[in-house]
């Protein structure tokens, strides 16, 4: 069943790609093959493989069997929030905030996850910033840690 | 003779204190990443690649780091296979078959040391193989035109689809998704923006780092949620640590055979360490296992897959360095790393950047010696790492990954795209779509399109140029055979045939 869904999504994507590619024409062309041909070729391939999956799906395979949906959703949400707040709050704070739900989803108690986040956030900040010379966002803690 | 001179120059590069230190650090990290179940070489290389760039390492140092991590993973994977019966990475699946029974018999120490030794032999044989064959291949490939290159890349995709999975359609689908993603952004030939949706962040294309981290870090973590292992079955009694001469002699020829075969498998695009270890294990079982002791703790069954996965991993550098067409997901990531430095691997690399190539090869020799030291006397240190709980490990991986992505452009957009690609990759992987072809497609996409367009420009639009030379025809034929033969074999074997194991 999930093969059919995947295949349909591919066919749809291929159609959208082909439609979007129509407009990709160079104002002045110096070559026989313009910017349109390759994406179109790929769209055809994508559409055909999608169609194959719709017509001949693998049977008896439960792709999403046993997925811990609650934990997965928690992790996706935490990571999404992490991405959004990474620059705003700075690495150290954002990491602490991310480590709490993710650590708990991976079996830690809230105390463990919080402590882990604290060590990771502060420790990694100094390792990367001072030791490895990687520019780190400090966000709202910039008055403490410097940077921006 | 010229090769020898280049190799000596390479050792000059490799012996510089910085590069030596980097090889040692890479070896250590590689062993750790390898032994952690759920993380393999491709994850390790993917997560470290942007960091190396952000730390402003020079290209050869960066490549040495990534290569040491890759080879280190093939060493490290065996540790959890032997002690925990859970392979640390896909290449070490076969090692658990005899390694864990040996450990249960109180011979864990011997299993660990003999497998480190055979890993060393495998890598050494393959590195010598690179020295011997890579310059020849590079010289031959210099005669390739755009049409041959286009055919070569199609061949690489055919190999990866035909050899890798039991679902070639899904492998092909993955490659097409990767290729399509590489089209996003400005087309430099014509100045047309493609698939950007008018977003300024995408006008430069999707950043390679973002794709790699999304696919191999974020999605990996989501998969780990379901497949977490406890260290409950960990064997702690290691017994005698060092193998003796009799055991070495007993495994010697098997190790050597597996090393040579593994190298050959590694050079082929598509088939990597996982296929090599499974193939050589089956081969040796048929060849020497007269008493049927394979699978019950036979020491040769530990040595063989380890020699093979190391030599295959090392061998997979050959197509990447000489042809500019990576044969595995991990080397595809490395090729993307070189692209960050504006270096395009290929036959010209050997003449234009000899320091880079030979420095890398020489460093591989040194990294192997370092790894042997790390993995025999210091193996106890690594077994402790198996006790690091996931609740501390996973947030750490996420933090390091995000730092790497953020370091490239310092935008929130890239981080969000990373999450989106990670979730997308997770959904695809859950449905059996492999990720190695996707990354290969993303890396090769621009090259493939450029070569196709250049070929047709030369012939003024005549598509016959694509099959215009014996080399091109040969490549197309082999590509077609690689796709058709496994399919035909499976069809003939019918429903009763054995189902091949696939790499996750």
Rounded to 5 degrees, what angle do the CA atoms A37, A39, A44 make? 95
CA atoms within 13 A of residue A24's CA, in its CB half-sphere: 28
A32 vs B contacts (CB less than 8 Å): 456-457, 460-461
Cα separation, A79 vs B219, in Å, equals 11
Q: Would you place residue A101 in the very low, low, confident or very high pLDDT band (cuts 50, 70, 90)?
A: very high
Cα separation, B236 vs B52, in Å, equals 35
Residues 6+ apart with CB under 8 A from B364: B67, B68, B71, B123, B127, B130, B314, B317
**Smallest CA–CA separation between A112 and chain B, in Å?**
8
Contact yes or no for B254/B303 (Cβ under 8 A) = yes
Q: B342 and chain A: CB distance < 8 Å anywhere?
A: no
Among candidates B390, B397, B58, which has minimal Cα distance to B230?
A: B390
Contact yes or no for B200/B307 (Cβ under 8 A) = no
Rounded to 5 degrees, what angle do the CA atoms B489, B479, B483 make? 30
Residue located via tokens 């012939």: B459
Q: Work out the average pLDDT over B407-425.
A: 92
pLDDT of A96 higher than 50:
yes
Cα separation, B186 vs B205, in Å, equals 7
Q: Work out the average pLDDT over B116-132.
A: 94
- Report pLDDT for A1: 59
Cα separation, B428 vs B443, in Å, equals 19
Q: A22 and chain B: CB distance < 8 Å anywhere?
A: no
Phi, psi of B278 (to 5 degrees): -65, -40
Cα separation, A103 vs B262, in Å, equals 39
Cα separations in angstroms, B226 against B32, B429, B432: 21, 13, 15
Cα separation, B388 vs B371, in Å, equals 21
Q: If residue B129 lies in a helix (H) or strand (E), which one and from where to where?
A: helix B108-141
Give the Cβ contact number of residue B26 at 10 Å: 29
pLDDT of A35 higher than 80:
yes
Cα separation, B304 vs B115, in Å, equals 8
- Report pLDDT for B166: 64
Binary contact (A35, B192; C-beta < 8 A): yes
Q: pLDDT tens digits, residue range A103-127?
A: 999 988 999 999 999 999 999 998 8
Residues 6+ apart with CB under 8 A from B406: A86, A87, A137, B414, B415
Q: What is the mean pLDDT of chain A?
A: 87
Q: pLDDT tens digits, residue range B96-109?
A: 899 999 998 888 99
- Report pLDDT for B498: 43
Q: If residue B194 lies in a helix (H) or strand (E), which one and from where to where?
A: strand B192-194
Cα separation, B247 vs B243, in Å, equals 6
Residues 6+ apart with CB under 8 A from B283: B257, B258, B261
Q: A135 and chain B: CB distance < 8 Å anywhere?
A: yes
Both tokens of B431, joined, read: 């449905």
Contact yes or no for A61/B432 (Cβ under 8 A) = yes
Cα separations in angstroms, B426 against B138, B404, B438: 37, 20, 13
Binary contact (B54, A120; C-beta < 8 A): no
**For residue B417, with 0-12 CB atoms within 10 Å meaning exposed, 13-18 middle and 19 or more buried, which class applies?**
buried
Which of A21-30, B119-128, B145-154, B403-412 has the least mean pLDDT? Answer: A21-30
The share of chain B scoring above pLDDT 90, in percent, equals 40
Q: A38 and chain B: CB distance < 8 Å anywhere?
A: yes
Which of helix, strand or coil describes residue A61? Answer: coil
- Report pLDDT for A56: 84
Binary contact (B176, A45; C-beta < 8 A): yes
- Report pLDDT for B311: 94
Q: A31 and chain B: CB distance < 8 Å anywhere?
A: yes
Q: If residue B193 lies in a helix (H) or strand (E), which one and from where to where?
A: strand B192-194
Smallest Cβ distance to A103: which of B391, B403, B452?
B391
- Report pLDDT for B468: 84
At CB < 8 A and 24+ separation, what contacts does B337-346 make? B337/B45, B337/B49, B337/B52, B337/B53, B337/B62, B337/B63, B337/B66, B338/B59, B338/B63, B339/B208, B339/B443, B340/B49, B340/B53, B340/B208, B340/B209, B341/B53, B341/B59, B341/B62, B343/B59, B344/B447, B345/B320, B345/B321, B346/B141, B346/B322
- Report pLDDT for B308: 94
Q: What is the mean pLDDT of chain B?
A: 87
- Report pLDDT for B27: 94
Cα separation, B62 vs B383, in Å, equals 27
Helix ranges (H only) for B341-495 are 347-352, 354-375, 379-385, 390-409, 412-430, 436-458, 470-493
State the pTM of this model: 0.87
pLDDT of B20 higher than 90:
yes
Q: Hey, what's the torsion of the CAs at B325, B330, B331, B337, to 10 degrees?
A: 110
Which of helix, strand or coil describes residue B188? Answer: coil
Among candidates B86, B29, B107, B75, which has minimal Cα distance to B376?
A: B75
A75 vs B contacts (CB less than 8 Å): 221-222, 225
pLDDT of B502 higher than 60:
no
Q: pLDDT tens digits, residue range B148-205?
A: 999 999 988 888 877 766 678 888 999 999 999 999 988 878 888 888 887 888 888 8
Cα separation, B250 vs B119, in Å, equals 16
Q: What is the largest CA-CA distance in chain B?
A: 71
Q: pLDDT tens digits, residue range B418-474?
A: 999 999 999 999 888 888 889 989 999 988 999 999 899 888 888 888 888 888 999
Interface of B with A in 380-409 (CB under 8 A): 389-396, 398-400, 402-403, 406-407
Helix ranges (H only) for B142-244 are 146-164, 168-182, 208-213, 219-226
The per-residue DSSP string of B299-313 comes to: HHHHHHHHHHHHHHH
- Which of A108-117, B262-271, B374-383 has the highest mean predicted lDDT (pLDDT)? A108-117
Q: pLDDT tens digits, residue range B268-290?
A: 877 778 888 888 998 888 888 88
ipTM of the complex, rounded to two decimals: 0.92
Helix ranges (H only) for chain A are 2-21, 37-55, 69-89, 91-105, 110-126, 142-145
Cα separation, B253 vs B283, in Å, equals 13
**For residue A82, with 0-12 CB atoms within 10 Å meaning exposed, 13-18 middle and 19 or more buried, which class applies?**
buried
Which of helix, strand or coil describes residue B66? Answer: helix
Q: A2 and chain B: CB distance < 8 Å anywhere?
A: yes
Q: Work out the average pLDDT over B14-21.
A: 92
pLDDT of B55 higher than 50:
yes
pLDDT of B497 higher than 50:
no
Q: Would you place residue A147 in the very low, low, confident or very high pLDDT band (cuts 50, 70, 90)?
A: low
Angle between helices B2-14 and B17-35 (to 10 degrees): 80
pLDDT of A59 higher than 80:
no
Q: pLDDT tens digits, residue range B197-256?
A: 878 888 888 988 899 999 999 998 998 888 766 666 777 777 888 888 888 888 999 999
Q: Work out the average pLDDT over B252-269.
A: 91
- Which of A33-42, A74-83, B264-273, B455-464 has the highest mean predicted lDDT (pLDDT)? A74-83
pLDDT of B499 higher than 60:
no
Residues 6+ apart with CB under 8 A from B267: B129, B133, B315, B316, B318, B319, B327
**Smallest CA–CA separation between B277 and chain A, in Å?**
27
Residue located via tokens 């044989």: B125
**Smallest CA–CA separation between A37 and chain B, in Å?**
9
pLDDT of B503 higher than 50:
no
pLDDT of A144 higher than 80:
no
Cα separation, B345 vs B334, in Å, equals 10
Among candidates B316, B312, B326, B320, which has minimal Cα distance to B279?
A: B312
Residues 6+ apart with CB under 8 A from B359: B10, B12, B13, B14, B19, B60, B64
- Report pLDDT for B164: 64
């Amino acid at each position: 069943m999930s093969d059919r869904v995947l295949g349909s999504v591919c066919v749809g994507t291929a159609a959208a790609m082909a439609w979007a590619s129509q407009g990709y024409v160079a104002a002045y062309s110096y070559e026989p093959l313009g910017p349109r041909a390759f994406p179109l070729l790929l769209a055809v391939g994508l559409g055909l493989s999608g169609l194959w999956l719709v017509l001949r799906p693998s049977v008896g395979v439960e792709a999403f069997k046993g997925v811990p949906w609650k934990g997965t959703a928690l992790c996706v949400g935490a990571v999404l929030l992490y991405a959004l707040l990474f620059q705003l709050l700075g690495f150290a704070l954002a990491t602490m905030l991310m480590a709490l739900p993710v650590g708990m989803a991976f079996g830690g108690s809230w105390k463990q996850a919080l402590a882990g986040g604290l060590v990771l956030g502060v420790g990694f900040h100094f390792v990367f910033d001072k030791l490895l010379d990687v520019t780190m966002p400090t966000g709202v803690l910039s008055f403490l840690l410097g940077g921006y | 003779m010229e090769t020898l001179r280049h190799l000596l120059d390479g050792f000059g590069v490799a012996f510089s204190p910085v590069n030596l230190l980097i090889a040692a650090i890479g070896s250590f990290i590689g062993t750790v990443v390898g032994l952690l179940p759920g993380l393999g070489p491709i994850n390790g290389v993917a997560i470290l690649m942007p960091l190396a760039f952000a730390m402003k390492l020079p290209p050869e140092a960066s490549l040495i780091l990534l290569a040491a991590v890759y080879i280190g993973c093939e060493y490290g994977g065996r540790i959890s296979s032997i002690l925990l019966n859970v392979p640390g990475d896909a290449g070490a699946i076969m090692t658990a078959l005899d390694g864990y029974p040996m450990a249960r018999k109180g011979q864990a120490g011997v299993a660990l040391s003999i497998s480190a030794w055979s890993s060393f032999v495998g890598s050494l044989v393959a590195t010598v193989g690179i020295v011997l064959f890579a310059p020849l291949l590079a010289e031959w490939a210099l005669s390739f035109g755009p049409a041959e290159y286009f055919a070569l890349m199609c061949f690489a995709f055919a190999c990866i689809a035909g050899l890798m999975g039991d679902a070639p359609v899904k492998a092909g689908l993955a490659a097409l998704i990767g290729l399509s993603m590489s089209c996003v952004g400005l087309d430099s030939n014509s100045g047309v923006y493609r698939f950007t949706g008018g977003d300024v962040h995408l006008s430069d294309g999707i950043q390679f780092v973002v794709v790699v981290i999304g696919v191999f870090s974020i999605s990996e973590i989501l998969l780990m949620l379901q497949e977490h292992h406890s260290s409950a079955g960990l064997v702690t009694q290691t017994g005698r640590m060092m193998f003796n001469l009799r055991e070495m002699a007993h495994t010697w020829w098997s190790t050597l055979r597996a090393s040579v075969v593994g190298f050959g498998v590694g050079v082929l695009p598509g088939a990597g360490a996982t296929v090599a270890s499974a193939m050589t294990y089956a081969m040796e079982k048929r060849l020497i296992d007269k008493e049927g002791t394979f699978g019950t703790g036979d020491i040769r069954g530990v040595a063989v897959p380890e020699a093979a996965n190391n030599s295959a991993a090392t061998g997979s550098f050959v197509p990447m360095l000489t042809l500019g067409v990576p044969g595995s997901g991990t080397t595809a990531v490395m090729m993307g790393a070189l692209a960050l430095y504006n270096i395009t691997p290929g036959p010209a690399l050997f003449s234009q950047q000899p320091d880079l190539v030979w420095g890398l090869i020489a460093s591989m020799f040194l990294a192997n010696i370092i790894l042997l030291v790390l993995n025999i006397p210091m193996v106890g240190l690594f077994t402790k790492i198996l006790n690091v709980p996931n609740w501390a490990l996973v947030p750490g991986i996420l933090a390091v990954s995000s730092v790497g992505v953020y370091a490239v452009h310092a935008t929130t957009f890239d981080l969000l795209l990373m999450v989106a690609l990670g979730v997308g990759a997770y959904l695809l992987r859950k449905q059996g779509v492999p990720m190695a072809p996707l990354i290969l497609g993303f890396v090769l996409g621009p090259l493939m399109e450029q070569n196709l367009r250049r070929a047709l420009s030369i012939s003024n639009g005549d598509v016959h140029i694509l099959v215009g030379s014996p080399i091109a025809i040969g490549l197309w034929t082999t590509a077609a055979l690689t796709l058709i033969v496994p399919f035909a074999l499976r069809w003939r074997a019918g429903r009763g045939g054995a189902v091949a194991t696939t790499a996750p």
